[in-house]
Amino acid sequence: MFPSCEPTATGMLPVGNGHEIYWEESGNPDGIPAIYLHGGPGSGAGNGYRRMFDPALYRIISLDQRGCGRSRPLANKAGYDLAENTTPHLIADMEAVRRHLGVRRWLLSGASWGSTLALAYAQAHPDKVRGIVLTAVTTTSAAEVEWITETVGRVFPEAWDEFAGYAAAADIGYMPGKGRLVDAYARLLSDPDPDVRGAAAVAWCRWEEVHIQIGAGANKQRDSRYDDPSFRQVFATLVTHYWSNLGFAPEGGLIGAMSKLAGIPGVLIHGRRDISGPVQTAWDLHNAWRGSELIVIEDEGHGGERIAEAWAVATSRLAAHTSRG
């Protein structure tokens, strides 16, 4: 990975109806434009992503997606309208940032949910994309959402029973095996009572920490951001909103439209031990995306040092290719 670098420019971009998107850029202002798309939804960009790009080669751009991080308003604000936070809205926000920064075409790089957003953007605007590097690959399909909220409970039955039991005890009509658990939590996290929303966010993030840890590497520690009531409520609200709506994907899903990315170079990096999102999704995407490269890191899961190293290598390799386009 590359040395960390500080932003050279930051800003808040109004995108309509009171929404403002935080953006930042670092690296070489005359370099190859690349945008990093964070996970969650709702995690915020942080700063570790900058180490995945050679700052001498890349103009490194990122943003905090609508409703989270340093963008405003946050999704936990009273009266926040989730109907104005969908994948088409996020794509439009990316386009607004691209135009604002004077970028013609950029490299897309996304992790976890960010890979879903990168694919959705690329399918909507293939002419604006130089290449794509994705890690912890997801498409937020029905099968993936069912796996991460229901089926993987077979691996963690104690934690899942507590997770599902909380929703069942909330008296909202949910019972395990009857209805989708993600829909139940989406209802709880949009409840008018702030105490209900706060408690549901705690339960959701507790489950998140259970399944995300496997294969994360020896140095992986719990995510201290979950200790922040505002962060965990924003995160849980947006995750359940997007997952309950299957990422607002078009009919047929993202994999069914990969022909739109023909000719765009892509690298998919996934951990074999990623129990939150099995490598099957990356495999299916690779098979549907002619010319893509799949790299499976055998001893890591939903992130880790070797995945990060492979990510940095991939952006460096694509630099030579994308600089010609």
Considering 26, 62, 112, 276, which one is annotated as catalytic? 112
In sequence order, which ranges of 152-302 are alpha helices (DSSP H)?
A: 157-168, 181-188, 194-212, 229-244, 280-288
Residue 259, C-beta contacts closer than 8 angstroms, at least 6 positions apart: none
Active-site residue flag, 112: yes
Question: Could you tell me if 124 and 148 are in contact, meaning their C-beta atoms sit under 8 angstroms apart?
Answer: no
Question: Could you tell me if 288 and 258 are in contact, meaning their C-beta atoms sit under 8 angstroms apart?
Answer: yes
User: What are the DSSP calls for 190-211, one per residue?
Assistant: T-S-HHHHHHHHHHHHHHHHHH
Active-site residue flag, 302: yes
208 DSSP β-pair partners: none
State how far the Cα of 131 lies from the Cα of 33, in Å rounded to an integer. 11
Considering 274, 276, 286, 292, which one is annotated as catalytic? 274
The span from the first CA to the last CA of the chain, in angstroms, equals 25
Q: Which helix (H) or strand (E) holds 294?
A: strand 293-297
* Local structure of 41: helix, strand or coil: coil
User: Strands, E, within 83-168: which ranges?
Assistant: 106-111, 129-135
Residue 34, C-beta contacts closer than 8 angstroms, at least 6 positions apart: 53, 58, 59, 60, 61, 106, 107, 108, 109, 315
Reading the block at residue 231, the tokens are: 């962060």
CA atoms within 13 A on the CB side of 95: 14
Give the active site residues: 112, 274, 302
